Amino acid sequence: MSEASSSSEKKTWRSNGGTRGWFGRQPGWLRAVVLLVVAVLAYLLPYTAEVPLIGPQIVTQGIDWPSALFNMSYYVLLALGLNVVVGFAGLLDLGYVGFFAVGAYTVALLTSPDSLLHTKWAWAAAVPVALAIAMLSGLLLGWPTLRLRGDYLAIVTLGFAEIIRISATSSETLRGDRGFADIPHPPGSGSDGKPIFGVADATPYFWLGLSVIIVVIFAVRNLDRSRVGRSWLAIREDEEAAEIMGVRTIKFKLWAFAIGAFIGGLGGVMFAGEQGFMNSNSFVLQFSILVLAGVVMGGSGNVAGAILGGALISYIPDRLRGIEDPIFHTDLFGFRFAIFGLVIIAIMIFRPQGLIPSRRRAMELKDREREVAPIE
């Protein structure tokens, strides 16, 4: 009897939407408090090592924990941006690292003493310019590719990223693998006169990244629930039908590209500001694929999923750093892409909707599963 009741209880819990359904039914103030607590906990992440027992297991060994957190923060940003393009609008973009590179390179060109421009701006002054250019590059990529369908689009975006990488490697202005040194850090100094954003400690960068992420989350969620988001959804599910129903597909596809590029550029400027040095090796193509894997792994089309996926693709390799493997005696970090390859396949086979799926997407998948013709 107890078994039956527990299973029916489980069923109601599920049919009421599980944790997220419960969360959605709570009054506004309670939701705000829960979100605030989560945010505060996120800001306290650099002190994870202080937590007894679990803390030391979580922190990374081969790389200091605040730096690992900062890496996570810009991966999460990229995942959020790519989620807009792939998850919301359903446009498969394999060259997302291109926008990241555009943002980072614009900052480097405007600020670094190595640059031909000799402008030597401050970091903060270069940021708006870099973001504007990243957004423009999104439109520039979006405009000629609007007519292309899914797979063609994928390969053209891949090509776009390759062109940017090749330009970075071989053009004199972008300095190839000699790169740009002495890119200034973000401004601000503490009460003792020392700059907040120094070289030694990455914690402030993480906090900066986290703050940017929170702003982006709000912006993206609001967009998704607005008219723009509904248009993206319509385009994703059936572009022709959307067009017939009066959705201006060209306009909204361009918006998706531009907003995605903007967020990617944001990741780029933060990366440039923290690293201080960058060259063409920072933007390999595998990087875009990794971010895409993160979005899909977390749950394409869902903001929380994108955050989780973005954090995981950065955290898992960093956690593997400094651990030696028993067979080849190399750093496990070298295996990171290989391991990811397997993880991606496993997730797509066993949980294709992702770790935290978008509910609408999960239903779409279920629908498709029912449609399978029994002929194999």
Partner 1 sequence: MNFSGLIHDFGPLTITGLAQGAIIALFALGYTLVYGVLRLINFAHSEVFLMGTYVCLLVWGLFGLDQNSATPSTIAVIGLLLLGMVVAIVASGATALAVELVAYRPLRKRNAPPLAFLITAIGASLFLSETVGVMTKRNITGVPPLIRPRDVFVIGNMHVTNLQILIIVLALVMMYVLDRFINRSRLGRGIRAVAQNPDSAALMGVNKSRVISLVFLLGGLMAGIAAVMYDLKIGVTRFDAGFLLGIEAFTAAVLGGIGNLRGALLGGLLLGVLQNYAAGLFGTQWLHAASFVLLVLILLVRPTGLLGESLGRARA
**Of 185 and 319, which CB lies nearer to partner 1 in the complex structure?**
319
23 near partner 1 (CB under 8 A): no
Q: Which CB sits closer to partner 1, 66 or 90? A: 90
Q: In whole angstroms, what is the distance from residue 160 CA to residue 325 CA? A: 36
User: Is residue 358 close enough to count as binding partner 1 by CB under 8 A?
Assistant: no
**Six-digit token string for 338:** 């290989």
Options 99, 100, 105, 160; binder of partner 1; rule CB under 8 A: 160
Decide: 179 and 109 in contact? Cβ < 8 Å: no
Nearer to partner 1, 59 or 308 (CB): 308
Q: Which is nearer to partner 1, 200 or 375 (CB)?
A: 375
Work out which of 292, 308, 313, 320 binds partner 1, going by CB under 8 A. Answer: 292
CB of 372 to partner 1, least distance (A): 4
Region binding partner 1 by CB under 8 A among candidate stretches 51-59, 139-147, 192-200, 257-265: 139-147
Between 60 and 353, CB nearer to partner 1 = 353
Site for partner 1 in 164-183 (CB under 8 A): 166-167, 169-170
- The CB-of-217 to partner 1 minimum distance in angstroms stands at 24
Q: Are 163 and 155 in contact (CB under 8 A)?
A: no
Instruction: Give the separation between CA 197 and CA 310, rounded to whole angstroms.
Output: 24
Question: 325-344 mask for partner 1 (x: CB under 8 A)?
Answer: ---x-x---xxxxx-xxxxx
306 lines the binding site for partner 1 (CB under 8 A): no
Q: What is the DSSP secondary-structure string of 266-296? A: HHHHHHHHHHS-B-GGGG-HHHHHHHHHHHH
Residue from 17, 56, 113, 144 touching partner 1 (CB under 8 A): that is: 144
Q: Which of residues 57-116 bind partner 1 (CB under 8 A)?
A: 86, 90, 92
Cβ–Cβ under 8 Å, residues 335 and 325: yes
Q: What is the DSSP string of 39-106?
A: HHHHHTGGGGGGSTTHHHHHS-SSS-HHHHHHHHHHHHHHHHHHIIIIIIS----S-THHHHHHHHHH
The pair of three-digit structure tokens given for residue 161, joined into one six-digit string: 């990223």
Q: Is 211 in the site for partner 1 (CB under 8 A)?
A: no
Q: What distance in Å separates the CA atoms of residue 204 and residue 208, rounded to the nearest whole number?
A: 6
Task: Report if residue 192 touches partner 1, rule: CB under 8 A.
Answer: no
> By CB neighbour count within 10 A (0-12 exposed, 13-18 middle, 19+ buried), where does 52 fall?
exposed
Cα dihedral: 275, 277, 281, 284 (round 10): 30
375 lies in the site for partner 1, by CB under 8 A: yes
* Residue ranges in 269-288 that form contacts with partner 1 under rule CB under 8 A: 285-286
Closer Cβ to partner 1, 153 or 183, answer by number: 153
User: Helix axis angle, 249-275 relative to 227-237, nearest 10°?
Assistant: 110
- Residue 220: both structure tokens together: 């993206």
Q: Which one of residues 36, 155, 241, 316 is an interface residue with partner 1 (CB under 8 A)? A: 155
Cα-flanking dihedrals φ and ψ of residue 169, to 5°? -75, -40
218 binds partner 1 (CB under 8 A): no
107, 126, 296, 320: which one binds partner 1 (CB under 8 A): 296
* CA 65/CA 59 separation, integer angstroms: 6
Residues 95, 160 contacting (CB under 8 angstroms): yes
Q: Does 250 bind partner 1 (CB under 8 A)?
A: no
Closest to partner 1 by CB, 173 or 286: 286
Tokens representing residue 335 in the block: 């295996």
Stretch that binds partner 1, among 184-192, 218-226, 251-259, 290-298 (CB under 8 A): 290-298
What does the binding site for partner 1 look like in residue numbers (CB under 8 A)? 86, 90, 92, 144-145, 147-148, 150-152, 154-156, 158-160, 162-163, 166-167, 169-170, 285-286, 289, 292-293, 296, 300, 328, 330, 334-338, 340-345, 348-349, 352, 364-365, 368-369, 371-373, 375-376
